[in-house]
Amino acid sequence: MLATALGKVKILARLMRETGMALVDAQKVGMTLDDAQKFGLSKPERLPVLEDETLIRGNRTKTGERYRVRISQSLGNQLKALGSPAFPGTYVKWREELNALLDKAGVKMTSPRVPALPDQRVVGSGHWADRR
């Protein structure tokens, strides 16, 4: 997949691959609190911080759980070269960029094989919604 990626989306995908970070957290790397608020990101106070070019620490947006993860020197250099914010824009923008990359690379997404409850139906990308 990374072989077909270009530019910032390649660096973002590589960051997520090396760290296991969720998109909602990875896109905030190198962002200031003001930038996060400007782009309407959820829980902007939980920004990851890049220390000494190879250590990222922060709190997960979804759970608040603290984490520390090392990245390669080459990825650290790429993130530093992007400046701040490294990945400007909304979560939706970057999700769409990554989905386009997955499509281009021929990656097929699967849905969980969980049956719907009687009052639910499948919508969009395999998520359940109430029939009401």
Pairing of strands 55-59, 127-130: unpaired
**52-61 contact pairs (CB < 8 A, 24+):** 53/77, 53/80, 56/19, 56/21, 56/29, 58/25, 58/28, 60/22, 60/25, 61/22, 61/24, 61/25, 61/28
pLDDT of residue 4: 73
List the pLDDT tens digit at each of the 132 positions of the chain. Answer: 677 778 999 999 999 999 999 999 999 998 888 888 888 888 878 888 888 889 999 999 899 999 999 999 999 999 999 988 899 989 999 999 999 988 888 887 776 665 555 555 555 555 544 444
pLDDT of residue 132: 43
12: tokens are 């973002």
